[in-house]
Amino acid sequence: MLIHLFAMFLLVGLVSFGGGYAMIPLIQEEILKRYHWMEAGQLADIVAVAGMSPGPIATNIAVAVGYQQAGWLGAALAALAVVLPSFALILAAGKLFFRYRDHPRVAAAFYGLRAVVVGLIVYAAVSFARHAGLWTGTPDWRTWCQIAIFAGSLFSLIYLHKHPFVVILLSGLVGIALYG
């Protein structure tokens, strides 16, 4: 188990570009489909808690999944595995990147990478929305409430410029009021 856990998060850290949220689709694929370590709802809950916790979301997810699968040692190994590739890459390639970052081909590559990162984040959001019940064949009152919470959260973040922590806290309170 520890070897699989370390290898999986090492792979995630190695092939994922664009930050923690861009890693979520690969984390989903590995945890839900390849290893079947948990249900989609459990992972969605972990991602929600990881997103509102201090620190990088990918590291927080790795710690939570590692702990759930193998206790404290699993948490430590998963966290190490997910940060090790970027740590090593930045150490090794940092000097080259800063030397050539203004090169037209390097700049062009980063335009493409920025676009794919946005696509990966949207894909992760849509996937989690499906597992949260926002896209079902026959929507019920819970679905409409979740859509309203989603829309209100998005509006608060984009137009009212509310801090994400405040939006998360208020959404949780609304969830308690509606579903509790």
> Does 144 share its domain with 118?
no
- Chain position carrying tokens 């991602």: 47
Query: How is residue 29 annotated by DSSP?
Result: I
Q: How many CB atoms lie within 10 A of CB 53?
A: 14
Query: Could you give the CA distance from residue 108 to residue 102 in angstroms, rounded to a whole number?
Result: 10
> Does 169 share its domain with 128?
no
> Does 143 share its domain with 110?
no
Q: What is the total count of domains within the chain?
A: 2
Q: In this model, does residue 1 exceed pLDDT 80? A: yes
Of residues 112 and 67, more confidently modeled:
67
Q: According to the model, what pLDDT value does residue 84 have?
A: 95
Of 127, 20, 2, give the one whose Cα is nearest residue 82. Answer: 20
Q: How far is CA 43 from CA 2, 124, 128, in A?
A: 19, 12, 9
Mean pLDDT confidence for 7-28: 86
> Does 96 share its domain with 161?
no
Q: According to the model, what pLDDT value does residue 120 have?
A: 80
> Does 98 share its domain with 142?
no
The SS3 of residue 167 is helix
pTM above 0.95, yes or no: no
Query: How is residue 93 annotated by DSSP?
Result: H
The residue range of the domain holding 19 is 2-132
